[in-house]
Homo-oligomer: A and B are copies of this chain.
């Protein structure tokens, strides 16, 4: 293939696809041969007159004059079938599709290896930040112990706005939507599904084995109030939406996605707005952080075109599929159940302001082995309800949940407002 242009079929022409087409115009080694669009009559920002457009995605999978599929359509259907067909026909894949890689990565990597083609996916996590290549090739001499990241720009934007401007969740969400940082239906971001796919991919690279995405514990940021953000700040923390994957001594992997209390001097605490960051703990290197724009047309397109350039170099290799696929075992590694997590906790309770309330809380926690670091009552409302905020020492989640079950059964308890784990 050396000496002639690498011919690309582009699947998807939304924000990122348009960015890819723009950047490819400056790359003489590549020819954009065919573009799959949903509606070929839709007006576009860029001149498409020199490209062949099609609405049938399978045409690029079977076109013998295409070498590489660049997939920026997202979702599983029809992408999964298109990618599988393309791989079976000897085409390489460059994709930004986090769900595809998280759900079907190990199967597709094996299929690619059998067909001597490569699958690149730098753009699937962290936009233009070179996270994937760093985990695959930059820290080879390390046994990775943990990856923890701010992997969703929408939720980080909302939490930053709530913190810096004191906005409510709803007002911050509306600002994110007005600024184009949140979808009209923001639930995949707010509820953490987006981060689940991303941390599943990072976990599979860090620990060389896929995880079942359905087994990953997930808590969204919808329950976080501006009061929680202020109280956390009083205790020296910021609240960040974190995806975490950590190797446990028993061979299981602790993978979870939820808002966390992050100590204010931790490097992740300073990552603001729509930026993403990943914090990697390695056996030799210690702690390394990468940060930057986690989404957006050109950053994401830059990751895709970077993959294409690396692919073009790799095409010189006699056995590049073996070279480029990290040894991800095909057996899924078990995800540690959330009950086994050990953390310190932030708990906000609404209770009646009656004598003995705090004593009863203390007894309930103590009975389940939960040791308290601090208990603070934050004012009493006109209706007689009080907000009580507790910080615990490190304890197993199972014990905490048992204590909370007892507490919710106490007559003075109105509701458990929010429970957050800490990043330690």
Contacts and interface: CB of A to CB of B under 8 A. Distances in A.
Interface of A: 19, 23, 27, 127-130, 133-134, 137-142, 265, 267, 270, 272, 282-293, 296, 298-299, 301-306, 308-310, 313, 316-319, 323
A298 B288 CA distance: 13
A302 B282 contact: yes
Given A130-B138, A130-B139, A309-B141, A299 B317 contact: no
A270 B319 CA distance: 44
17 contacts: A19-B284, A129-B285, A133-B137, A133-B138, A137-B306, A141-B306, A267-B270, A267-B291, A283-B298, A284-B299, A284-B305, A285-B293, A286-B299, A288-B293, A289-B289, A290-B291, A316-B318
B267 A284 contact: no
Copies in the complex: 2
Contact of A292 (B272, B288, B310, B317): B288
Nearest to A308: B141
Contacts of A293: 285-288
Given A134-B134, A317-B316, A323-B313, A139 B306 contact: yes
A10 to B, nearest CB: 15
B141 A301 contact: yes
B323 A128 contact: no
B292 A291 contact: no
Nearest to A130: B138
A288 B290 contact: yes
Top 3 A-B pairs, shortest CB-CB distance: A130-B138, A128-B285, A284-B302
A289 B292 contact: yes
A141 B291 contact: no
A141 B313 contact: no
Given A128-B284, A318-B318, 18 more contacts: A128-B282, A133-B138, A141-B302, A141-B306, A141-B309, A267-B270, A267-B291, A282-B302, A284-B298, A286-B293, A286-B298, A286-B299, A287-B293, A289-B292, A290-B290, A291-B291, A313-B323, A316-B318
